[in-house]
Amino acid sequence: MISVPVMTTTPLASTGTELDVDILIIGAGPAGLYGAYYAGFRGLRVAVVDALAEPGGQVSAMYPEKAILDIAGFPSVRGRDLVEGLLAQADQFGPTYLLGEQAQSLTHDAAGNAVVGTSKGRSITAGAVIITGGIGTFTPRPLTSGLDFLDRGLSYFVPELSAHVGKDVVIVGGGDSAFDWAIHLESIARSVTLVHRRDKFRAHKSTVAKVYDSSVQVLVNADVSDVRGNGWISEVDIARKLDKTTTTIPAQSVIAALGFTADLGPMAEWGIDIDTRHIIVNTRMETNVRRVYAAGDITDYPGKVRLIAVGFGEAATAVNNAAAVLDPEAEIFPGHSTEQEG
């Protein structure tokens, strides 16, 4: 479990279920946590709300053990280590975390401040809101043949690699997650079999090449047609589409990396311009709704690249532009952190 700094070192104006902050960040994923740090660096009072029970967003929920390879300055960093570092960075300025709490409604008060209502009946008044909700609320696509074994051998994510030590593991899927888990588990599992319904993959070519170069068995044009066991998974049937044959293989662990469905939840009703499931922003990370910004994977604009590294820059851009709106005398860019004393 990731440790969470709960309260801020700078007291926030709060009465009962009411909270008053300069910046409210919706989403505690990497972009949101970096935004919390940067807002604190600018001397702003910050609260972070997230429907998930722990910080880190998709990284914590889906791949805390996965090696992330595209963070500047880190050839490789585990998901949970990245989140721990972001929390430690933000905690220098003591943001308030409201976890397990969903942002549900948005209005504005007479002064133009945003007022956000949450699923716990809280009312948060903020000078500006920055939405960093990743892909919004996400739900794994189910492996229908194995639903009876959920949490008894069937899983959709891999929060702990150690849970698969010495097991025969079957991974279902053809995207980055499926191939990444195949690489991570090859050295600790008894066997790893990757099953994909097509012979084309959505994963990075270099990762696919690594898997094919390993001991992982890759079965294409195939499906897991049946999952069996006595209380816990013991074997699965693999149906091949081309020759219509079925093979039974041992399996104590099945990881269904089939992707997920996502939606913006109540935010879709806030009057924000949305393209499919992404929020449209300008170069200042502003949405069409006053004092509401967005950053990270949830945003869209021409040339958008969805990387954690890009989300960090967008979060800083959103904070800096929001700071200038809250205080017209403030500079949009306050200077580099290396120029600050202390």
Question: pLDDT for 182-233, tens place per residue?
Answer: 999 999 999 999 999 999 999 889 999 999 999 999 999 999 999 999 999 9
160-186, pLDDT tens digit by residue?
889 999 999 999 999 988 998 999 999
0.95 cut: is pTM over it? no
Q: 285: Cβ–Cβ under 8 A, 6 or more apart, which residues?
A: 130, 293, 294, 295, 299, 314, 317, 318, 321
Q: Work out the mean pLDDT of the chain and round it to a whole number.
A: 89
The annotated binding site is made up of: 50, 58, 63, 103, 138, 297, 338
CA distances from residue 160 to 78, 148, 192 in whole angstroms, order as listed = 12, 22, 16
Q: Give dist(CA 266, CA 24) in Å, integer.
A: 16
115 by Cβ neighbours in 10 Å (0-12 / 13-18 / 19+) ranks as middle
d(CA 266, CA 341) in angstroms, rounded, equals 42
Burial class of 70 by CB neighbour count within 10 A (0 to 12, 13 to 18, 19+): exposed
Instruction: State residue 17's pLDDT score.
Output: 81
Which residue numbers belong to the known binding site for FAD?
A: 50, 58, 63, 103, 138, 297, 338
User: With contact defined as beta carbons under 8 Å apart, do 311 and 300 qualify?
Assistant: no
Domain assignments of the chain as residue spans, ordered by start: 13-138+260-339, 142-256
Q: What class, spelled out in words, does domain 142-256 have in CATH?
A: alpha beta
13-138+260-339: CATH class = alpha beta
**Residue 8 clears pLDDT 60, i.e. is over it:** no
Q: Hey, do 13-138+260-339 and 142-256 end up sharing a CATH topology, with the first three levels equal?
A: yes
| pLDDT classification of 262: cutoffs 50, 70, 90 | low
